[in-house]
Amino acid sequence: MDLICGLLQLVIYAFIVWIILSYIVAFGRLPWGHPVRKVYDAMSSVINPVLEPIRRVMPGVRLGGMSLDLSPLVLFFGIEIVRSIIC
């Protein structure tokens, strides 16, 4: 059980890092070869397939001319609920 709890905690930390990196990449105007962008792209290749089913069920919330993607928030709370039940 401790191993599963530890892995879920690691997933939460990786998820938070991915969210922070997404803001850095979006607003930092990093060149394509920048190491931060490479880490973000690698993490996105793992996290985006997990988020896609959530995005199909729950599309982004329209806010004027932009859309707010709430799927990361749903995934985060889902992992936290699983953690509270298991751990």
Cα 47 from Cα 59, distance rounded (Å)? 17
* 18-57 pLDDT tens trace: 999 988 888 877 788 889 899 999 999 999 999 999 999 9
pTM for this predicted structure: 0.80
The residues spanned by each domain of the chain are 2-86
Q: What is the mean pLDDT of the chain?
A: 89
- The percentage of residues in the chain with a pLDDT greater than 70, rounded to a whole number, is 100
Go through 36-66 and write b for each residue having 16 or more CB atoms within 10 A of its CB, e for each that does not.
Answer: ebeebeebeeebeeebeebeeeeeeeeeeee
* Residue 82, C-beta contacts closer than 8 angstroms, at least 6 positions apart: 8
